[in-house]
Chain A
Amino acid sequence: MKMFACKGLTYQYPESAHPAVADVTLEIEAGEFVLVLGGSGSGKSTFLRALNGLVPRFYGGSIAGEIRFQGKALSALSHREIVAAIGFVQQDPERQLVMESVERELAFGLENVAMPPDQIKSRLAEVSHLFGLGAFLSKQTSTLSGGEKQRVALASVLALHPQALLLDEPTSQLDPVHAEELLHAVRRLNEEWGMTVIMSEHRLDRCFHLADRILLFQEGKVVFNGSPRQFAARARDHAAWQLFLPPVSRYALVHGDTAKVPLTVKEARAQLCGSLPPAVGSRVQPVPPAKGRMLEQFTSFFRKAKAEKESEPLLRLQGGHAGYENNMVLTDISYAIYPGDQIALLGENGAGKSTLAKVCAGAVPLRKGSLYWQGEKVEERFWEGGSSRVGYLSQNPNDYFLHDTVEEELSFAAKGNAAWQEELLESLHLGRYRHRHPHDLSGGERQRLALAIVLATRPQLLLLDEPTRGLDQGEKEGLIRLLRALPVQATLVITHDVEFAAAYANRVSILYRGEIVADDRPEAVFAQSFYYMPQVCKLLRNHHGCSS
């Protein structure tokens, strides 16, 4: 049975010059798992919103063509019929919960479609059992973590027993553990319940192979519609499409043996086992010299030896304690950042990563221990000019925007130094947006603007807190290139994104419960830890296993 059928679907937002979705014709069968790919602004979110009538019913604008849901025209269905039949989960967990307790949150959608209270009760029992929410029911939604919030959002949509589920980047705000949990739940829904799932997602290593079908959007058009395997095969000829492949597939593509592009580490392992050159010694090392961009990035961390290690550290933390009276986040931590360091700081949520960075930036006071800047002890007075030595970019670029245009923003940050302002605009590729409102920029552009603002004070050490959140693969690679070219002495990036860390860093530190448990060159760290292992490392590790 056809779940969705679009014919010549074209949609344009009100007051927009170009259609966001243009001439889309496709069919989606019941029970399919469809993965919608595309860069930011490619129209994939709009497409999802067209499938449940949010455009044009909520956003306005003009729509042409036709969408049929289970054979009926979508435009003929009432708001309520759509709500009951098509579930929708968006990316921001914070904004999706409207009620103050979990129980009422789960009931909210059911109340809205006027379900009798007795039936609501049994539906609640069902979903809370299914998602293991029993212990949460009486909790306040504001006390939940991001992952729990997203799970509640999903559960409350499923309580309506929809026939199709639309997910718009559901994991982009979550850390990897929670993201995987959520994706696992979605997969179960599809496999066991037979629910039709249409999802857009950046985190491809976890879900690419699960999909029955891939839709690739570019500038509002569907440029690919087929199975993941076909997509991988076609991507060989489209360099731009390779961004949407899982890292292991990209590695295999670049590596050359591409008769059949592997989609998972397992496949790649089976395929590449014989063809890879043997690993040298006990160390995991991808030997072939770089020819593609991806591989170049991946091997970059081997290039930089720690010659500077002997030199004076830029910043040194000695025996630091920080946190609250009865809940120390950092305990007796010693850490040094050297000139030339490009550090990726990994660790689970609550391990104290942000606290460590904020200690280094002077935002969180040390309860014990001391901080040295180029060998000199840091006193309270130091921070008066602190932002010219240490720049800190938080997770929310929006917090940096105080003015109406990009230009004003930078002029304020650069304290009126026009030449420096122009240089920043230029080097961060913001020149053509100079008269835009910062809030009209896309996610990646906002991040660049915030980075430019932080750089305006010419810091020598740059700290970035999860800069890759919500960025697509293309934007991530752009960020890496940008960070490499920055005129700073050292950079520390807090991230959950292991693939990003592998591609960018020349030093990886892992923080666990307020202590540094690993701190070395990336290849050494990744060889030790299976969890914090990029896909390609996993592959090579096993390769080493099979060759010896």
Chain B
Amino acid sequence: MNIAALLLAVLLLLFFLLLFLYEKGRTDERLIAVTATLGTLAAVGRILFAPIPNVQPTTFLVMISGYVFGMRTGFLAGVTAALFSNFYLGQGPWTLWQMIAWGLSGASAGVLRVLIEAKGPGTVLLATRSKRWLFAIVCLLWGYLFGWIMNLWVFLSQGGSVTWGAFLAVYIRGFAFDTAHAVGNFLFAFLLAPGFAKTLSRYHRKLLIARLSVEEEKP
């Protein structure tokens, strides 16, 4: 079975597509600066929480960044976080997977925002209880998804000849770890998301308004 290889191809394609979007989109220096900052912050968070196994705020931070600043920023914050925390925690083939996994989690949060929030710079994010729950649950799910994407590289190193049983077994074996990650995400999201969203929105709003008013000035 070469599902792993197929998945890899799809993920890589998505990865480069989003990278391309970031490159070609309307990415001004304000967004670049904030993306780098958020990515680095998420990486620092990962190192800060390194003593607690598999519980780290990185996924949450990446996702809240994506939620507030949109798909591209979320994606790139995730990619940056993976890349730079690994300079400290060890670089390896898993770096690419983490880049993909975190990048996609950030991008997905951006998509979630488009789906559930009203447009415009004045919107108060995560204002209702149901939105908070939804966001926290998506964070929870990403705890598992992240682990699953990460496991793919193990399968790949097996040359793809893996039985369904082993596939399942590895995922069951990783279940405890993924659960720790997922529950951590959920807690972070549940406790912090509204506050962080508020803080980040403050900046986002400033950024949007500066941009809008610059555009208005132009004939």
B142-185 with Cβ < 8 A to chain A: none
Cα–Cα, bound, A60→B195 (Å): 27
Cα–Cα, bound, A63→B213 (Å): 11
Residues of chain B within 8 A of A57, CB atoms compared: 214
Is B204 positioned at the interface, with any CB of A under 8 Å from its CB?
no
- Cross-chain contact of B213 among A60, A404, A437 (Cβ < 8 A): A60
Min distance, Cβ B32 to any Cβ of chain A, angstroms: 10
Question: Is the beta-carbon distance between B198 and A14 smaller than 8 angstroms?
Answer: no
Cα–Cα, bound, A61→B211 (Å): 10
Residues of chain B within 8 A of A14, CB atoms compared: 209-210, 213
Is A531 positioned at the interface, with any CB of B under 8 Å from its CB?
no
Cα–Cα, bound, A58→B210 (Å): 7
Min distance, Cβ B188 to any Cβ of chain A, angstroms: 17
> Chain B interface mostly helix, strand, loop or mixed?
helix
Question: Is the beta-carbon distance between B198 and A60 smaller than 8 angstroms?
Answer: no
Is B212 positioned at the interface, with any CB of A under 8 Å from its CB?
yes
Min distance, Cβ B39 to any Cβ of chain A, angstroms: 15
CB closest chain-A residue, reference B198? A404
Residues of chain B within 8 A of A63, CB atoms compared: 217
- Cross-chain contact of B210 among A59, A62, A404, A437 (Cβ < 8 A): A59
Cα–Cα, bound, A80→B164 (Å): 59
Would you give the 0/1 interface string for B189-219, flagging 1 where the beta carbon is closer than 8 Å to chain A? 0000001001000100000011111100100
Question: Is the beta-carbon distance between A62 and B198 smaller than 8 angstroms?
Answer: no
Question: Is the beta-carbon distance between B217 and A62 smaller than 8 angstroms?
Answer: yes
Min distance, Cβ A104 to any Cβ of chain B, angstroms: 16
Is A15 positioned at the interface, with any CB of B under 8 Å from its CB?
yes
Residues of chain B within 8 A of A109, CB atoms compared: none
Min distance, Cβ B178 to any Cβ of chain A, angstroms: 32
Cα–Cα, bound, A63→B198 (Å): 30
Residues of chain B within 8 A of A365, CB atoms compared: none
Question: Is the beta-carbon distance between A61 and B198 smaller than 8 angstroms?
Answer: no
Cα–Cα, bound, A215→B195 (Å): 43
Residues of chain B within 8 A of A437, CB atoms compared: 202
Question: Is the beta-carbon distance between A15 and B217 smaller than 8 angstroms?
Answer: no
Cα–Cα, bound, A56→B216 (Å): 11
Question: Is the beta-carbon distance between A62 and B213 smaller than 8 angstroms?
Answer: yes
Cα–Cα, bound, A437→B202 (Å): 11
Residues of chain A within 8 A of B202, CB atoms compared: 437
Residues of chain B within 8 A of A58, CB atoms compared: 210, 214
Cα–Cα, bound, A132→B193 (Å): 49
Question: Is the beta-carbon distance between A56 and B209 smaller than 8 angstroms?
Answer: no
A311-369 with Cβ < 8 A to chain B: none
Cα–Cα, bound, A156→B129 (Å): 50
Would you give the 0/1 interface string for A48-62, flagging 1 where the beta carbon is closer than 8 Å to chain B? 000000001111111
Question: Is the beta-carbon distance between B214 and A15 smaller than 8 angstroms?
Answer: no
Residues of chain A within 8 A of B217, CB atoms compared: 56, 60, 62-63
Question: Is the beta-carbon distance between B213 and A56 smaller than 8 angstroms?
Answer: yes
Question: Is the beta-carbon distance between B209 and A15 smaller than 8 angstroms?
Answer: yes
Cα–Cα, bound, A9→B195 (Å): 39
Residues of chain A within 8 A of B195, CB atoms compared: 404
Cα–Cα, bound, A24→B49 (Å): 52
Min distance, Cβ A162 to any Cβ of chain B, angstroms: 19
Min distance, Cβ B43 to any Cβ of chain A, angstroms: 15
Would you give the 0/1 interface string for A20-58, flagging 1 where the beta carbon is closer than 8 Å to chain B? 000000000000000000000000000000000000111
Cα–Cα, bound, A15→B209 (Å): 9
Would you give the 0/1 interface string for A63-79, flagging 1 where the beta carbon is closer than 8 Å to chain B? 10000000000000000
Min distance, Cβ B208 to any Cβ of chain A, angstroms: 10
CB closest chain-B residue, reference A60? B213
CB closest chain-B residue, reference A95? B33
CB closest chain-B residue, reference A63? B217
Cα–Cα, bound, A340→B209 (Å): 51
Min distance, Cβ A159 to any Cβ of chain B, angstroms: 19
CB closest chain-B residue, reference A59? B210
Cα–Cα, bound, A60→B28 (Å): 14
Residues of chain B within 8 A of A60, CB atoms compared: 209-214, 217
CB closest chain-A residue, reference B217? A56
Residues of chain A within 8 A of B214, CB atoms compared: 56-60
Residues of chain A within 8 A of B210, CB atoms compared: 14, 58-61
Cα–Cα, bound, A253→B202 (Å): 47
Residues of chain A within 8 A of B213, CB atoms compared: 14, 56, 60-62
Residues of chain B within 8 A of A404, CB atoms compared: 195, 198
- Max count, chain A CB within 10 A of own CB: residue among B202, B212, B217: B217
Cα–Cα, bound, A14→B195 (Å): 24
Cα–Cα, bound, A56→B211 (Å): 10
CB closest chain-B residue, reference A440? B202
- Max count, chain A CB within 10 A of own CB: residue among B202, B210, B214, B217: B210
Min distance, Cβ A15 to any Cβ of chain B, angstroms: 6
- Max count, chain B CB within 10 A of own CB: residue among A14, A61, A437: A14
Residues of chain A within 8 A of B209, CB atoms compared: 14-15, 60
Min distance, Cβ B168 to any Cβ of chain A, angstroms: 45
Residues of chain A within 8 A of B211, CB atoms compared: 60
Cα–Cα, bound, A60→B210 (Å): 4
Cα–Cα, bound, A63→B217 (Å): 9
Cα–Cα, bound, A15→B210 (Å): 10
CB closest chain-B residue, reference A15? B209
Cα–Cα, bound, A150→B209 (Å): 31
Residues of chain B within 8 A of A15, CB atoms compared: 209
Cα–Cα, bound, A276→B199 (Å): 58
Q: List 26 A-B contacts (CB under 8 A).
A: A14-B209, A14-B210, A14-B213, A15-B209, A56-B213, A56-B214, A56-B217, A57-B214, A58-B210, A58-B214, A59-B210, A59-B214, A60-B209, A60-B211, A60-B212, A60-B213, A60-B214, A60-B217, A61-B210, A61-B213, A62-B213, A62-B217, A63-B217, A404-B195, A404-B198, A437-B202
Q: A14-B213, A60-B212 are in contact. List 17 more A-B contacts (CB 8 A).
A: A14-B209, A15-B209, A56-B214, A56-B217, A57-B214, A58-B210, A59-B214, A60-B209, A60-B210, A60-B213, A60-B217, A62-B213, A62-B217, A63-B217, A404-B195, A404-B198, A437-B202
- Pairs A-B, 9 closest by C-beta atoms: A60-B213, A60-B210, A14-B213, A60-B214, A14-B209, A59-B210, A56-B217, A61-B213, A60-B209
